[in-house]
Amino acid sequence: MAALEQSEKIYRATVKTSRKYPKRLTDYIEALVKHGRLLEAKHFFLDLCHLGPNHPKTIRLGYTIAIATFDNDWIYKYDQLLTNSTKDSSEVHWYRLRYYHSQNNITACENTSCELLKVKLSTDRLSTIIEVCMARRSYLIAQSLAEYLSINHATLTPRYNKLLKQIVITRLTQSIQRYL
């Protein structure tokens, strides 16, 4: 909680007319989201929207809060804003994957994950896909993930590697049982 308290202290000490106010407000909102204080984050986020509604950080923060609060209207709004403001389609797919995962939409998770695994990913985006794959125990994601790891000469931790193998073995046994 020390980081949250520190960011709140810095934010509260900044006057609204300061040019550093939007950055400090953004940092405070990010700390609130990180610590699960979503209602407070949403309240302060509305203040941030008055300062810079189309700023890239505001759009991404709004999308994150919308996913965490299950606010479908905000998700639609920030999905459109992000789609229109970024050239990186993998970022849009990553936010959508997080949304689909929160909504328990397995088919959309599988499609979006497979689409994301076609390009080089950052560590946090790859970890999100791994998390979705393991949580959904999806063979489609596991297959694409295994191909991605092979192409990029990457490996999973032993624990996740074991879970990935279990997903594949389960699918194999189901296929064998169907043909017997």
Architecture of domain 1-86: Alpha Horseshoe (1.25)
For residue 149, give both structure tokens.
């790891």
Q: Are 59 and 82 in contact (CB under 8 A)?
A: yes
State residue 1's pLDDT score.
58
Q: Where are the domains of the chain?
A: 1-86, 88-180
Confidence class for position 178, pLDDT limits 50, 70, 90: confident
Residues 6+ apart with CB under 8 A from 133: 113, 141, 142, 145, 164, 167
State residue 70's pLDDT score.
94
For residue 23, give both structure tokens.
């950055």
State residue 26's pLDDT score.
93
pLDDT digits 0-9 by tens, 37-92 = 999 999 999 999 998 888 999 999 999 999 999 999 999 999 999 999 988 899 99
Q: Which helix (H) or strand (E) holds 47?
A: helix 38-51
**Beta-carbon neighbour count of residue 9 at 10 Å?**
11
pLDDT digits 0-9 by tens, 83-138 = 999 888 999 999 999 999 999 999 999 999 999 999 999 999 999 999 999 999 99
